Amino acid sequence: MRSVQLGLLCVQKYPEDRPSMSSVILMLGSDGGLPSPKQPGFFTERSTFVEKSDSRTMSSNNECTITTF
């Protein structure tokens, strides 16, 4: 879990909020507490809602021809 929290610190939206590499090395080598990351600048939300499909099935047929000389 420590690595995840440290990773979140390294991907902060603003560079000035990210730790320096020397700080990261110190944090990896110590057992002390880590600062809490700020709220993410953006996120994507996954929807677990699945719509029921009707009787029609949509499909595509892709073909590829390769010629070697």
pLDDT one-digit tens code per residue, 23-48: 999 999 999 999 998 887 777 777 66
Place of tokens 């809490």: 36
Query: Which pLDDT belongs to residue 29?
Result: 93
3-state DSSP helix/strand/coil % of the chain, to nearest 5: 30, 0, 70
Residue 52 is predicted with a pLDDT of 60
Residue 22 corresponds to which amino acid? S
The pLDDT value given to residue 56: 64
Q: How far apart are CA 53 and CA 1, in angstroms?
A: 40
Answer whether 0.75 is exceeded by the pTM: no
Question: Residues 41, 11: contact at Cβ < 8 Å?
Answer: no
Q: How many CA atoms lie within 13 A of 26 on its CB side?
A: 9
